[in-house]
Chain A
Amino acid sequence: MLKRLGLVATAGVLAALAIVAAAVARPMSSAAATATCSKGVTLGILAPITGPAGSIGSDQLHWAQFYISQWNKGKGHVKIKLVQGDTQLDPSKASTVAQSFASNGSMMAVIGPAGSDEVQAVAPILKKAGLAFTSGSATRVSLTDGTLKGFFFRVVPNDGVQGPTAADYMGTTLGVKSGDSVMVVDDQESYSTGLADIVGTSLTGKGVKVDRESVSQKATDFSSLVAKVTADTKVVYLPFQLASQAQLFAQQLKAQGKTAIVFGSDGTFDSSKFNVDGSYISFFAPDVTTLASAASTVAAFHKQFPGATSPFGAPNYVAAQAYAAAIQTACKDKKISRAEVRNVFSKTNLKTTILGSGLKFTINGDVAGARFHIFKIVNGQYQTVA
């Protein structure tokens, strides 16, 4: 009886393994497959439409949808259909959605995903499928180390720019000099530790004493850490992913009567959650609602999508714009393939965009000449200061 059970169990395991192997071996949509342009072209968007970063993802989706809806109204434009995929800022969910995108033969490129961890999770899937994917918010430096050359792009600068920008601003404007102290606190996530390391190294190089601390992203109390902020601490740098954490830290800092300035990274950029006056935040895009050159576009966006928008959204508009141009070029012979889109997209050269600058990619997919912007919180509102 036992022997029979064992045989049955073994057969079951072998069958399961065979099924899994077959599923894994099933080829994704071939990168070389072509589609006709007459029926339109599909563009995917991976964004955290729900979940902890739902407000960011919705904003990113809306700006992409806005551009595509404007584009499709244009005469002679190849019609583009935008298919959304919700990642909830979770790499495992992003992988699942990316798999479905890869299998969609009509999909020619992808906007997103939003987070650097998600990019790393979906990269093997999308690369194997031959899909170009462009993020409007993933800033980890290593994403454009050449491994994903020709496949991954971003329309915003990376943390290699953010870190030195923040460190420079602390030195030139916030009065941090050699011998002064700065506390750098990461939230133990890779985005945060990477950025904290860059800023810490940059400041140490300038002779600043850096107190490196670390807290869990699930921490609900920073009072013990705030107690370590001394009168000599000029700035507390918080490369957090959650704006609410930065808010709590800044509030507890104030409650303990500390005078150090709080400086948050782009992950804390959310005026509804982080709005302690006198704090600073760096961000990879300007606030397009304050740019005169973007006024009419912003007005049209608000008409289609009433309500608040954040600087997280507009980069996806630019990504959609660049893809639309690439798709239009690739469709000159009425046929299109993923490889063609990638090739044309990599040569993008937009003279001007809604972000106030042009768009051209470096060989590894970064934006040539991009810079971070600094905002100061004044009366609960974010004002551009650099």
Chain B
Amino acid sequence: MNWNLFVTELVAGITHGALYALIALGYSMVYGILKLLNFAHGDIFMVGAFIGYGLMTVFGTPETLTVNLAFLIALMLICAMIGGGLLGVMVERFAYRRLRKAPRIAPLITALGVSFFLENAAQLVLGAEPVSYNTYAWKNSVLWTKGFTLPGKVHVGLPQVIVVVGAIVLVVLLTLFVQRTQIGKAMRATSFDQEAAAMMGIDVDRVIVVTFFIGSALAGAAGVFNGLVYQQAFPYMGFQAGLFAFTAAVVGGIGNLPGAVLGGLLIGLAEAFATGYLSSTFQQAIVFALLIAVMLVRPSGLLGRAAVQKV
């Protein structure tokens, strides 16, 4: 047994899965409340990555950074989350709000349109060339030389630790928020029955805005995490990440938050192990084959529940 390969793929899968989980949570949250597949969500991830990169450049180039790195990363995350959240709120306000009563196809097409708009706007404003966080150059690669070694002599760098731990912390905070706060209760009520929630005095508009803000903030954070580990940010990076995260949300059970996390991890691991043990060429085919297999066995997703409709 090649432990080095196994453990490396495991680490790669968990890291990538954590990113997918963060993005998938946004998909699930919005779908849970509005029954809307927000295809622009992946592009909020892209915007978050660029916000993080832009903030980094305020302190210098990757090779010349002298600022405390923990401070820098925290600041990048906070700004990306706030920026991503605000962008999500704006998208909801201007693109989706008026279509709440429209047939489902209308907001779906609008979401695609918003996605194209964000990608092309980013290309126009920021240029089409990829930018690189180049964390390997931060203070002589200190982030990557520190870390720990797993069985199989696999070194795990700090960026990977930050991504996984950060994702866990954010998911825990989200869970606590949804379960323990008044607005979280309102979100759960609205996702269960929007009309009834409104009749109970819940401000549904406010709940939707909060949902979009939180979901988009998580995507923004995922953008920074992506940059820390995988370096790159470019205008079209949201498409593939969004597609895989959407797949993760569906596999886990669209609308189900723990399901989104589980789906993200499964997709990340499937990607990694498919590349390592089968073929990199068919990596995407294998991931989507997993989606089909889950859908055939459990159409509502692994943790989703079949919706009961009164006829």
A interface residues, Cβ below 8 angstroms from B: 50-52, 54-55, 88, 185, 213-216, 218-221, 223-228, 242, 244, 247-248, 251, 254-257, 273
Contacts and interface: CB of A to CB of B under 8 A. Distances in A.
B240 A218 contact: yes
A150 B136 CA distance: 49
Contacts of B239: 218
B43 interface: no
A225 B275 CA distance: 6
B9 A224 contact: yes
A69 to B, nearest CB: 27
B132 A55 contact: no
B232 interface: yes
| SS class, residues of chain B in contact with chain A | helix
B141 to A, nearest CB: 8
B4 interface: yes
B8 A242 contact: no
Contacts of B130: 52, 242, 244, 273
Given A52-B128, A218-B237, A224 B276 contact: yes
Nearest to B13: A224
Contact of A213 (B234, B237, B280, B284): B280
How many of chain B's residues touch chain A, expressed as a range? 35 or more
Interface of B: 4-5, 8-9, 11-13, 15-16, 127-130, 132, 136, 144, 153-155, 157, 226, 229-232, 234, 236-237, 239-241, 271-273, 275-276, 279-281, 283-284
A233 to B, nearest CB: 13
A54 B235 CA distance: 15
Given A51-B128, A55-B129, A251-B136, A224 B230 contact: no
Given A52-B129, A242-B130, A248-B231, A216 B5 contact: no
Given A218-B239, A223-B8, A227-B276, A54 B129 contact: yes
Given A213-B280, A214-B280, A248-B232, A228 B5 contact: yes
A255 B232 contact: no
B12 A223 contact: yes
Given A52-B128, A223-B8, A244-B132, A218 B229 contact: no
A228 B281 CA distance: 14
B115 to A, nearest CB: 15
Closest 4 CB pairs of A and B: A227-B8, A224-B275, A214-B281, A223-B12
Contacts of A214: 279-281
A256 B226 contact: no
B284 A251 contact: no
Contact of A251 (B4, B9, B231): B231
B280 A224 contact: yes
Contacts of A228: 5, 275-276
A213 B283 CA distance: 11
28 contacts: A50-B128, A54-B128, A54-B129, A215-B283, A216-B240, A218-B236, A219-B240, A220-B231, A220-B237, A221-B16, A221-B229, A223-B272, A224-B8, A224-B13, A224-B275, A224-B276, A224-B283, A227-B5, A228-B275, A244-B232, A244-B234, A248-B132, A248-B231, A254-B136, A255-B144, A255-B155, A256-B154, A257-B153
